[in-house]
Structure 1
């Protein structure tokens, strides 16, 4: 008995009920192909993806995505199913992270043909047309495989100012908007959804299908290094912003369509309650902790995502330290290995039926170079197997699979999943569940019909003047005016200005006279970042991320510049609040004090010269001292004693 042939027959029989009845309209989609032939059936065109010369149910765009996925899974080998469950990295020449302007297509072909991978993160930067061309070439490789399964291409956020590896990509030619915190500062749901819609258009124009965002994590621990990607510390505000973000990217709240970008909401759940502010990319930051008993508060922003029918969820690296829920201790493993968090809570209580995509490299080992012996210049060693450090890589795959993970981020080791099934540690039917979820989304997005994009169209859409203008207007709106004294604003043309951290050419183009010393100036303008320390330089992410104290310290270059300038001339200070800076030492020295969440020099000057208005309100409170920070609970909002500026503070301009 040929079990696979029987599977085909059942799938085909089930599919028949999904074909439109005779006389019912079937709208011919555009078909994009490089190597697959086209079939004509009933006067309609279809792609012959498996080169069989006949129309298979999975090739029939008249059928439902579910029927097509069922048929395709029945045709796949175990190797192909395991490959579908990998979410790898498109390699780039000479760059471990896959960054650059071109793909390594020889390396990509090996992943597609030998590992059977069909989902990838891209970290390319550059113009829209250039990225579109590279993604088209990748799709051409995927089209040549046995079943012609198209590639799904994902990205970290790329429309903002932050571009730290593992958190964001340089915006390149894409329109540039404030960080997520900036949208929370504005608090406008419609603007948030509009941003998602613009970014969706730019992503799809370049052949990107999955947004590894938004961050629904709450910024309740002010020392944490991932705050800039959140919507602040208020759960209700974050829930609204997350819902609007998802709706924008997915082109509505009714699930995926051919115009959607999958929103992968992260990081389920509690990541923002980082113990002592250490981030769980690194082994010393593996714990999130809940001394205030506030776990449920950290779930609330995800409810906004579920209301918008987010199609993806990414579990956190963090172990929820000594947490009990309903009297039951939560297993002390990272969320990607935690069956309670993924199966019982996420799928059970919240009814999530999309794809659970693990965060990157949870199945990897974390050897000595990962645990503090890494040196700059050495190849990076990345692994986050928190709580299962002593298991083998194969055992980690098996545990994550059992917990409920559908797809494994940052790895292409599909052969280990094959081995797990062959050794009886998991059934092939368990893989089928995840593979169907992944394939349904490819069908819903129309990738089997046409995964290719028009580079010329990408050139018109990506970073268009209209989108850029919208982004700059949002940047200006997101600024939070904290202090406004001495009648300094608005600046007028002809004013002599001393600048630090701001482009003199942009200031001069607005009629300001740039001088080289505060002594010669009418006003000084200083742009600076929130303070941080480098406390873990021998850890890869410790080297890249902002950690440590939040206060300006004597001897720090920017702080000394503020002190020196303000002693001689009224001084405007703009601080990039990627974390809640302690501005106690700056407040009385600044005539104008601004909190920014990603703003161009041009947009900042528009506000300073009265051509635009700062409308932001703080999405988190700004503490008054490090003692207050150290005394607060990591999981509670508004928990700093005597904050210098409270949540929601902002002056009118």
Structure 2
């Protein structure tokens, strides 16, 4: 049903007209003020009063319309039904009280699920990446899509496609790790799940932070990234390119940082030449929060706000978030002065309008308030979170103490993260961000007028209903469990040590649940702007570990953290180490199930695990000359290799690779080569394993990494079962950027490795790529296909998918 109030015969109100014609018709009817409004946004709380929509507050903000509403759910403490009611009221005002009746796009943060009260809190992205199961990430995004649409949301600010190789950076937890291929596979799956088959029922995905944000100087947030052009293209741009060309990505967020002296929000080469010109991206570019004015206030790249607005719009930033600032009077003055063209303004507005038509907002801007709670709280969403949580846990070390005793015996549960639900959650969970709003309200002026929090905004930081590790172990162990906190995450007090030592000494095994507190406030130790100079556990936790280990009781360390953490002592002296990351609302159940052997751990590291902070950067895909094989090899005081390799992860059912072979000795450029792998579950219980396919080009005309991930498959097998995996590897995946920065697949030999980590691998063989005169240019391929079978020849159904899936490789021209 059409709800807008157009002029008689207006094409833009005709749902049967092509979207391009509707956009053109509406644009022609708009005043400049109405156009500028479409490039702006407002915090939802600025048009609410006492949790309800206020027409009085809204009128000066929404009078000319609006592009985006910022976080109706995530910037309030409203429950799901209240979010839907507020979103409907905002849309109703825009539709009925503005001249053209243009609805707004409501965007939300969706880094670990919808950042909303009552929405599912999924494991943080670094844990999702540890599943090596893109299909699970697609299911996660599909759940987010359903929850957002039910509450009136239309654009999600994810996936984070930053490749990160410096875990000092606080936002490591928001990423899919160090490898561009793995990041791309997880990212494309998320985009497909969030956007759905049709945007009328989908949510716009927003890939961020474009580009190189995770490669910051010193691991510091907002710091410059020093990336030469080939590395930029092959590693840091690659996941975004795959998301655009394979996933149909509809939105990109520019990064806060600078590249080679040019802040990303003013970088026309990135936003116009590469993103739009080379890749054909047709969606919208949104600013990171406050980042347009940061060109002036932070980077000192623009002498004033007007210049900042001109630079950002000229470079290709279409929408300013989270509230209209530089894209208001300052941008209008730049237009008046001829510093930026009206044509560029129209181009940006057209993109925003196109999204609104494609989302179906003109036909149906409202949601069913009566159905929202059922859609948001559906048990299937929690089931997906639990499946991800179970497969995200990485067993780094185990001397046989795990699974925990299943007969008589006692367990001492110790540590600051053992009985605190809040500590299981990532930095963009609802509870964490409500803390940030509280801080902003208490420190008025912290982020200026755009972040002034009304006094009547209700703030509820509750994590009610999220069980702790103590809760879940108590259900299973009863009075055999004794809990002592020991210490706080950051507080320096050691008053609890004596009780912790006594509990450990009296127990058969001690489980220490240690790590981080994620968020954006000063109390947080990981998350946005919470960068660290050390990877040891914060506070006095390392001293607690030493005190408990000294009792002689076997110690299991469970690390609930946003980055690789833990000292040499912890990893060497603890009998077992389980990396739990930030596992979300079902994380405690997953941890308890793995500790007790109810679930076989199967997570794999998506990032190399350093021994010390002094090794950074330590990543598997380094160059031959990367210091790992020089005259003496190691550092004077430490090995150069990581403590645990990329792709590492143990289980209770060991798998062996029995055979790996390349199926052809020679292929033509543009063709594919098969790689066959047979593996066996050599354990006495069912389990899962991730088979990893790596390549090396030893003869290229520019130096290449010693290894590059090009395929993987998560497989399930019963005890003793043998499984066959076949990778179809397109030669279009094997190119690189030559001396002229053109993507090239060179003739020559390619070595192929198969293994269970970047370290635990074997040479499967090699093949030669021959030039084909009939195909002088080999199209770039982003992935191949993977087939899993048992040795009877029957296809093995897997709910996880391989890295590629689908009928064949996705290709795109450069």
**TM-score for the superposition, normalised by structure 1:** 0.79
Counterparts of residues 163-562 of structure 1 (less than 5 Å): 170-252=115-197, 257-280=199-222, 285=223, 287-290=224-227, 294-296=231-233, 297-306=235-244, 307-321=246-260, 332-364=261-293, 385-388=298-301, 390-413=302-325, 414-492=328-406, 495-499=409-413, 500=415, 501-503=417-419, 504-513=470-479, 514-515=481-482, 516=484, 517-529=503-515, 545-552=529-536, 556-562=539-545
Q: Distance in 2 between matches of 1:110 and 1:151?
A: 16
Asked if 2 retains the 8 angstrom alpha-carbon contact of 1:526 and 1:573, the reply is yes
Q: CA deviation at 1:494?
A: 6.1
Q: Distance in 2 between matches of 1:597 and 1:410?
A: 29
User: Does residue 117 in structure 1 map to residue 66 in structure 2?
Assistant: yes
Structure-1 residue corresponding to 2:108: 155
Q: Unaligned regions of 5+ residues in structure 2, if any?
A: 420-469, 485-502, 629-639, 653-814
Size of the aligned set, in residue pairs, is 556
Asked if 2 retains the 8 angstrom alpha-carbon contact of 1:159 and 1:174, the reply is no
- Structure 1 487/63 Cα, relative in aligned 2: closer, same or farther at 3 Å? same
Cα deviations by residue, 1:364-399 (Å, 9 ceiling, x for unpaired): 269xxxxxxxxxxxxxxxx864251x5110111011
Structure-2 residue corresponding to 1:379: none
Provide the secondary structure at the position in 2 that maps to 1:524.
strand
Q: CA deviation at 1:290?
A: 2.6
1:586 counterpart (559, 564, 570): 570
Q: Distance in 1 between matches of 2:526 and 2:561?
A: 19
Q: Which moved more, 1:269-278 or 1:598-607?
A: 598-607
Q: Distance in 2 between matches of 1:559 and 1:106?
A: 55
Q: Distance in 1 between matches of 2:366 and 2:398?
A: 52
Q: Distance in 2 between matches of 1:272 and 1:339?
A: 20
Q: CA deviation at 1:186?
A: 1.0
Q: Which moved more, 1:144-153 or 1:292-301?
A: 292-301
Cα deviations by residue, 1:473-517 (Å, 9 ceiling, x for unpaired): 211110000011243413437642222322333322223433242
Q: Distance in 2 between matches of 1:48 and 1:171?
A: 29
Q: CA deviation at 1:236?
A: 0.7
Q: Distance in 1 between matches of 2:352 and 2:273?
A: 21
Asked if 2 retains the 8 angstrom alpha-carbon contact of 1:335 and 1:341, the reply is yes
Q: Distance in 2 between matches of 1:631 and 1:473?
A: 30
Q: CA deviation at 1:618?
A: 0.4
Structure-2 residue corresponding to 1:145: 98
Q: Distance in 2 between matches of 1:220 and 1:317?
A: 18
Q: Distance in 2 between matches of 1:611 and 1:632?
A: 33
Q: Distance in 1 between matches of 2:401 and 2:338?
A: 75
Q: Which moved more, 1:497-506 or 1:474-483?
A: 497-506
Structure-2 residue corresponding to 1:134: 86
Q: Distance in 1 between matches of 2:627 and 2:517?
A: 20
Q: CA deviation at 1:288?
A: 0.8
- Structure 1 91/608 Cα, relative in aligned 2: closer, same or farther at 3 Å? same
Q: Unaligned regions of 5+ residues in structure 1, if any?
A: 1-30, 32-45, 161-168, 322-331, 367-382
- Structure 1 238/184 Cα, relative in aligned 2: closer, same or farther at 3 Å? same
| Root-mean-square deviation (Å) | 3.2
Q: CA deviation at 1:543?
A: 10
Q: CA deviation at 1:634?
A: 13
Structure-2 residue corresponding to 1:646: 645
- Structure 1 558/488 Cα, relative in aligned 2: closer, same or farther at 3 Å? same
The structure whose RCO (Cα within 8 Å, separation 6+) is larger is 1
Q: Distance in 2 between matches of 1:103 and 1:346?
A: 38
Q: Distance in 2 between matches of 1:623 and 1:65?
A: 51
Q: CA deviation at 1:272?
A: 1.3
Asked if 2 retains the 8 angstrom alpha-carbon contact of 1:291 and 1:635, the reply is no
Q: Distance in 2 between matches of 1:150 and 1:491?
A: 59
Provide the secondary structure at the position in 1 that maps to 2:477.
coil
Q: Distance in 2 between matches of 1:131 and 1:279?
A: 32
**TM-score for the superposition, normalised by structure 2:** 0.64
Q: CA deviation at 1:360?
A: 1.6
Structure-1 residue corresponding to 2:41: 87
- Structure 1 75/494 Cα, relative in aligned 2: closer, same or farther at 3 Å? farther
Asked if 2 retains the 8 angstrom alpha-carbon contact of 1:488 and 1:570, the reply is no
Provide the secondary structure at the position in 2 that maps to 1:294.
helix
